[in-house]
Structure 1
Amino acid sequence: MREFHCKDVGMPDCSFVAKGKDDDEVMRKATEHAKHDHHMQTIPPDLERKARGAIRESSGQSKR
């Protein structure tokens, strides 16, 4: 299981965690979160690269 924490890409007050079986699934969830909760129309390429780089193996301790 892979996971992404929004706080790891410059959103320190955001507790969102996306989990998925692979990086593409995690990125789909993270992109939807960014659009709905952070009101981003599109995800800039530099932020997408940063987000992909922040995806890691799940520790199993997160709840989202």
Structure 2
Amino acid sequence: MDQPKRGRGRPPKPPEERMEQRSIRLSLAHWAKIDANGGIDWLRGVIERAKAAIKPPADKT
């Protein structure tokens, strides 16, 4: 009777595979462009191909 209970729900993903939900505001034209080019998969590809900034942005304080 003392059987271990099975875990419920999805198992957690490793930290390098986790995604963080955020919200951005874009014009309708920008959203239409994203949708026309393949949606979120296209947008993720654009972000992955983008070059990283060489130096961090200047602090505005």
Instruction: Flag the structure with larger Rg.
Output: 2
TM-score calculated relative to the size of structure 2: 0.28
> Which structure: greater strand fraction?
1
